[in-house]
A and B are shown apart, each in its own frame.
Chain A
Amino acid sequence: MAHKKIFLDYKRCIGCKACEVACEMTHGEARIKVFEFPDLFTVPFNCRHCEKAPCLNVCPTGALFRDEDGAVAFDPLKCIGCLMCAVACPFGVPKLDEENKIMDKCDLCADRREEGLLPACVSACPTEALKFGEINEVLWNREGKIVANLKSSAEKGEGEEAYLIL
Chain B
Amino acid sequence: MPMAEKLVPVVCPWCSVGCRFYAVSANGYIRRIEFDYDHPTIANRGKLCPKGVASYQFINSPKRLKKPLRRVGEKGEGKFEEISWEEAYKIIASKIREIKETYGPEAIAFLGSEKITLEENYLVHKLSKAIGTNHLDFPGRYCQYSNSPARTMVFGSAAATNPFEDIAKAELIVIWGHNPAETAPVLFGQYIEKALDNGAEMVVIDPRSTRGHKYASLHLKPYPGTDLAIALAMLNVVITEELYDKEFVQERTTGFEGLKESVKDYTPEWAEKISGVPAEEIRKVARLIATKRTAFLVNEGMNQHVNGLNTAIAIANLIAITGNIGKEGVWSGVFPGAQCGFCAAMSGIAPNKLPTGKLVTDEAAREELERLWGFPIPDWIGLDLTTMVREIGNKIRMMYIVGGNIAKSMPNSGWVREQLKKLDFLVVQDIFLTETAMYADIVLPAAAWFEKTGTAISAERRVQRTYKAAEAPGEAKPDWLIIVELAKELGLGEYFKYEHPDEVLREINKVIPVFKGATPEYLAEHPEGCFFPCSEPGEGTKILFKNGFKTPDGKAHLQPVDWREPPEMPDEEYPFWLTNFRLVGHWHTGTMSFESPSLQKRWPEEYVMINPKDAKTLGIKSGDLVKVSTRRGSILVRAEVTEHIREGVIAMPWHWQANFLTLDEINEKTKMAELKAVAAKVEKVEE
Given contacts A14-B185, A126-B190, contact A21 B54 (CB under 8 A): yes
Complex CA distance for A22 and B49, rounded to whole angstroms: 9
Most buried by B among A12, A117, A127: A127
Judge whether B188 and A127 touch: CB under 8 Å: yes
Set of chain A residues within 8 Å of B157, measured between Cβ atoms: none
Judge whether A127 and B193 touch: CB under 8 Å: yes
9 new A-B contacts at CB < 8 Å, known A16-B584, A21-B53: A14-B189, A16-B181, A16-B211, A17-B50, A18-B52, A21-B54, A125-B47, A125-B189, A126-B47
Query: How many Å from the CB of A130 to the closest CB on chain B?
Result: 11
B residues near A (Cβ < 8 Å) are 32-35, 37, 44, 46-50, 52-54, 181-182, 185-186, 188-190, 193, 196-197, 199, 209, 211-214, 584-585, 598-599, 602, 642-644
Set of chain B residues within 8 Å of A129, measured between Cβ atoms: 189
Complex CA distance for A127 and B209, rounded to whole angstroms: 19
Taking the complex as formed, is A124 at the interface, i.e. its CB lies under 8 A from any CB of chain B? yes
Set of chain B residues within 8 Å of A152, measured between Cβ atoms: 199
Set of chain A residues within 8 Å of B209, measured between Cβ atoms: 40
Complex CA distance for A12 and B47, rounded to whole angstroms: 14
Set of chain B residues within 8 Å of A22, measured between Cβ atoms: 48, 50, 53
Judge whether B32 and A17 touch: CB under 8 Å: no
Taking the complex as formed, is A35 at the interface, i.e. its CB lies under 8 A from any CB of chain B? no
Given contacts A123-B35, A126-B49, A149-B199, contact A21 B602 (CB under 8 A): yes
Complex CA distance for A126 and B43, rounded to whole angstroms: 11
Could you tell me how many residues of chain A have their Cβ less than 8 Å away from some Cβ of chain B?
29
Chain A residue nearest in CB terms to B197? A145
Chain B residue nearest in CB terms to A24? B598
Set of chain B residues within 8 Å of A40, measured between Cβ atoms: 209, 211, 213-214, 644
Complex CA distance for A165 and B585, rounded to whole angstroms: 28
A residues near B (Cβ < 8 Å) are 12, 14-18, 20-22, 24-26, 38-41, 117, 123-129, 145, 149, 152-153, 165
Query: How many Å from the CB of B547 to the closest CB on chain A?
Result: 32
Given contacts A14-B181, A40-B644, contact A124 B53 (CB under 8 A): yes
Complex CA distance for A126 and B197, rounded to whole angstroms: 15
Query: How many Å from the CB of A157 to the closest CB on chain B?
Result: 13
Set of chain A residues within 8 Å of B190, measured between Cβ atoms: 126-127
Set of chain A residues within 8 Å of B49, measured between Cβ atoms: 16, 18, 124, 126
Set of chain A residues within 8 Å of B642, measured between Cβ atoms: 38
* 9 smallest beta-carbon distances between A and B, as pairs: A127-B189, A126-B189, A21-B50, A16-B185, A14-B181, A126-B186, A126-B185, A123-B35, A126-B47
Which of B50, B181, B189 has a CB less than 8 Å from the CB of A128?
B189
Judge whether B181 and A25 touch: CB under 8 Å: no
Which of B46, B197, B199, B598 has a CB less than 8 Å from the CB of A123?
B46
Query: How many Å from the CB of B76 to the closest CB on chain A?
Result: 34
Complex CA distance for A90 and B196, rounded to whole angstroms: 35
Query: How many Å from the CB of A95 to the closest CB on chain B?
Result: 16
Given contacts A21-B602, A25-B32, contact A127 B185 (CB under 8 A): yes
Contact sample, A vs B, 23 pairs, CB 8 Å cutoff: A14-B185, A14-B188, A15-B211, A15-B584, A18-B50, A18-B185, A20-B50, A21-B50, A25-B33, A25-B53, A25-B598, A38-B643, A39-B214, A40-B211, A40-B213, A40-B214, A41-B214, A124-B53, A125-B47, A127-B188, A128-B189, A128-B193, A165-B196
Chain A residue nearest in CB terms to B596? A21
Set of chain B residues within 8 Å of A12, measured between Cβ atoms: 189, 193
Set of chain B residues within 8 Å of A26, measured between Cβ atoms: 32
Complex CA distance for A20 and B197, rounded to whole angstroms: 25
Judge whether B599 and A21 touch: CB under 8 Å: yes
Query: How many Å from the CB of B402 to the closest CB on chain A?
Result: 29
Chain A residue nearest in CB terms to B187? A126
Complex CA distance for A38 and B609, rounded to whole angstroms: 13
Chain A residue nearest in CB terms to B199? A152
Set of chain A residues within 8 Å of B211, measured between Cβ atoms: 14-16, 40
Set of chain A residues within 8 Å of B54, measured between Cβ atoms: 21, 25
Complex CA distance for A126 and B584, rounded to whole angstroms: 12
Query: How many Å from the CB of B673 to the closest CB on chain A?
Result: 29
Chain A residue nearest in CB terms to B603? A17
Query: How many Å from the CB of A92 to the closest CB on chain B?
Result: 20
Query: How many Å from the CB of B171 to the closest CB on chain A?
Result: 11
Chain A residue nearest in CB terms to B584? A16
Complex CA distance for A85 and B34, rounded to whole angstroms: 32
Judge whether B46 and A21 touch: CB under 8 Å: no
Which of B33, B53, B212 has a CB less than 8 Å from the CB of A14?
B212
Chain B residue nearest in CB terms to A42? B211
Complex CA distance for A129 and B197, rounded to whole angstroms: 13
Set of chain A residues within 8 Å of B181, measured between Cβ atoms: 14, 16
Given contacts A40-B209, A125-B189, contact A18 B602 (CB under 8 A): no
Judge whether B644 and A16 touch: CB under 8 Å: no
Set of chain A residues within 8 Å of B185, measured between Cβ atoms: 14, 16, 18, 126-127
Complex CA distance for A22 and B47, rounded to whole angstroms: 11
Complex CA distance for A129 and B211, rounded to whole angstroms: 14
Complex CA distance for A21 and B50, rounded to whole angstroms: 6
Complex CA distance for A127 and B37, rounded to whole angstroms: 15
Complex CA distance for A64 and B229, rounded to whole angstroms: 63
Query: How many Å from the CB of B581 to the closest CB on chain A?
Result: 14
Query: How many Å from the CB of B498 to the closest CB on chain A?
Result: 35
Complex CA distance for A24 and B596, rounded to whole angstroms: 12
Query: How many Å from the CB of B458 to the closest CB on chain A?
Result: 15
Complex CA distance for A22 and B52, rounded to whole angstroms: 9
Chain A residue nearest in CB terms to B32? A25
Set of chain B residues within 8 Å of A18, measured between Cβ atoms: 47-50, 52-53, 185
Complex CA distance for A124 and B396, rounded to whole angstroms: 47
Which of B37, B188, B199, B599 has a CB less than 8 Å from the CB of A126?
B188
Most buried by B among A41, A117, A125: A125
Complex CA distance for A77 and B50, rounded to whole angstroms: 32
Judge whether B188 and A17 touch: CB under 8 Å: no
Complex CA distance for A165 and B171, rounded to whole angstroms: 13
Query: How many Å from the CB of B246 to the closest CB on chain A?
Result: 25
Complex CA distance for A26 and B53, rounded to whole angstroms: 10
Set of chain A residues within 8 Å of B644, measured between Cβ atoms: 40
Complex CA distance for A145 and B461, rounded to whole angstroms: 32
Set of chain B residues within 8 Å of A20, measured between Cβ atoms: 50, 602
Most buried by B among A16, A126, A153: A126
